[in-house]
Chain A
Amino acid sequence: MDSRREEIRKLALRMLDERDGLGVSSPAPLGALPFGADEAGRAVVARAMATIRSGNEDRSIPRRGHRIAWLAAAAAALVAIASSDLTLAFIQRGSPVEVRFVLEAPEATSVWLAADFNDWSPSGYELEKAPDGSWSITVPLRRGASYSYNFVIDGERWVSDPAAPSSLDDGLGGVSSSLSL
């Protein structure tokens, strides 16, 4: 299980690097995409959500947190003076954050995650089923951007995330969920 998670993480990080590079990544072979857009999958989905597993998402930062943030900023400024290139590179690339995508679909036999961060190819992004019927996968993503994604149920039904705050028309006859990090 751990090795599989590590495999997924490596794949996701590689995709991120490609995305951060020239913005061009290798095309997925068509044969590996046996999916069709179908909103009927909504009936199968009971609940789903994408949660951020690590990273501080607390919206009410305590005062002490502010002090720590200021100290961190001051430290960052010193580092910037010492090595501006290093700091700039860090800021530009952003830090990865582990995002856990969860879909409750007890009747499904497989669930995949397809998103703009993996070129919409669910290859390697298969969710694992828990005994309670929920499916999940944890993917490292970079902060500071928004992402679009869908779940693919049983290899053919593309569904948006019912728990996501927003879903947008994808222009292709379906909707995609949106996530800001």
Chain B
Amino acid sequence: MILAFNSGALAQGGQGSSGQSEQAAQGKDQSEGASVSGQADSQPGRAGADSSPRVSSQVRSTADEATATGVRAELEFNRWLASYLAGGELEGTRSRLETIAVVAMNAGVPADAFKARIREAVAKRATPETMLRAIEEDARRWIWLAGQLDGSAWPPGDRAAELYLSASTALRNGVAEASVAGLLSWAGDTSADAAKAGAALTTAASLSMPFRDAATGDAALTLLRSRLRVRQYSAVVELAVRAQSAGFSSRRFLEALEATLGQGGSLRDLDRALFG
């Protein structure tokens, strides 16, 4: 039963994915009962590592639960998608969206991130081509993000989608992957507020706009580590706009940011460093 959940069927997605998932889910429900019976784990390597049948069954039970949760999330998402797109102009994108989402969700991307972006695309009446391109690009970034967060208990589940959305917005608007990775690493190590981390990411993206370039350095991490509150982030962007108007380069601004906020300074310190 366990092998059925570890097959590549779920990652293939597409038209047949729903049916396969239904079967997997049903099988999962049966295996949940079986997994506590103490049978030896069939996965190579793992059985040898387990010192007793009890430990083996616990490991398998945990793996089964995780897989079952994933399958249920996939089914729920597919049902939501079918219902949400029914009769609309974007209904033709459903199959492709399912495929993209299933692959991403199996990589650990929260379904709610997809839902939010699909709602936005539908509301803004994006064309099918634009929507698919946007979701594909987001999914690529989210899968990369899931890889960065693999094994981490951060962010908390109820804040994960929000962070994924902020990260994809930041990456789309010029924040480098290395900068995002640095922020995630620090945030995970310190169990930082996920909403604040997301706000730091989008603010960092906003900092590149006044200077018309994509050099944001480690601005996101600097903001997150600073003693600023989220509601003060907009003021940092306003200072960037002023700095650009005064002839500063983005590099000079980022240096001032790091030298002030990055060292525990205040907005006023940043203002002084820039404008005296």
Q: Which of B80, B119, B158, B205 has the most CB of A within 10 A?
A: B119
Q: Which of B30-38, B44-52, B229-237 lies at the binding interface?
A: B229-237
Q: Does A37 contact B (CB under 8 A)?
A: yes
The number of residue pairs between A and B whose CB atoms lie closer than 8 Å in the complex comes to 138
* A window 147-181: CB within 8 A of B: 148, 150, 158, 165-174, 178-181
Given A172-B134, A180-B203, are A116 and B231 neighbors across the interface (CB < 8 Å)? no
Residues of chain A within 8 A of B199, CB atoms compared:
144-146, 180
* B window 239-265: CB within 8 A of A: 241
Partner among B112, B119, B130, B232 whose Cβ is within 8 Å of the Cβ of A27 = B119
Q: Does B193 contact A (CB under 8 A)?
A: yes
Which label, helix, strand, loop or mixed, suits the secondary structure of the B interface? helix
Q: Does B126 contact A (CB under 8 A)?
A: yes
* B window 28-65: CB within 8 A of A: none
Residues of chain A within 8 A of B130, CB atoms compared:
172-173
- Judging by beta carbons under 8 Å apart, are A173 and B115 in contact? no
Q: Does A36 contact B (CB under 8 A)?
A: yes
For B194, the closest partner residue in chain A by CB is A145
Residues of chain A within 8 A of B234, CB atoms compared:
165-166, 179-180
Cα-based distance from A33 to B120 in the complex (angstroms)? 11
- Judging by beta carbons under 8 Å apart, are A30 and B88 in contact? yes
- Judging by beta carbons under 8 Å apart, are B230 and A181 in contact? yes
- Judging by beta carbons under 8 Å apart, are B119 and A171 in contact? no
Given A146-B230, A171-B137, A178-B206, are A30 and B173 neighbors across the interface (CB < 8 Å)? no
Given A24-B112, A146-B166, A172-B134, are A166 and B125 neighbors across the interface (CB < 8 Å)? no
- Judging by beta carbons under 8 Å apart, are A168 and B209 in contact? yes
Residues of chain A within 8 A of B238, CB atoms compared:
165
Q: Does B227 contact A (CB under 8 A)?
A: no
Interface residues on B, range: 35 or more
Contact with A along B163-190 (1 / 0, CB 8 A): 0011011001100000000000000000
Would you give the shortest CB distance from A54 to chain B, in whole angstroms? Answer: 12
Residues of chain B within 8 A of A111, CB atoms compared:
none
Q: Does B149 contact A (CB under 8 A)?
A: no
For B231, the closest partner residue in chain A by CB is A181
Would you give the shortest CB distance from A85 to chain B, in whole angstroms? Answer: 16
Q: Does A70 contact B (CB under 8 A)?
A: no
Cα-based distance from A68 to B69 in the complex (angstroms)? 47
Would you give the shortest CB distance from B233 to chain A, in whole angstroms? Answer: 4
Provide a sorted-by-A list of 14 A–B residue pairs whose CB atoms are within 8 angstroms. Answer: A21-B158, A23-B158, A23-B161, A27-B115, A37-B126, A59-B235, A120-B120, A120-B124, A144-B230, A148-B202, A158-B124, A168-B173, A169-B173, A178-B202
Residues of A within 8 A of B (CB): 20-24, 27-28, 30, 33, 35-37, 52, 55, 57, 59-60, 114, 116, 119-122, 143-146, 148, 150, 158, 165-174, 178-181
User: What are the 10 A-B residue pairs with the smallest beta carbon separation, nearest first?
Assistant: A166-B206, A120-B123, A146-B199, A180-B233, A36-B125, A145-B195, A165-B237, A171-B134, A37-B124, A30-B88
Residues of B within 8 A of A (CB): 80, 83-85, 87-88, 110, 112, 115-116, 119-126, 130-131, 134, 137-138, 158, 160-162, 165-166, 168-169, 172-173, 193, 195-196, 198-199, 202-203, 205-206, 209, 229-235, 237-238, 241, 267-268
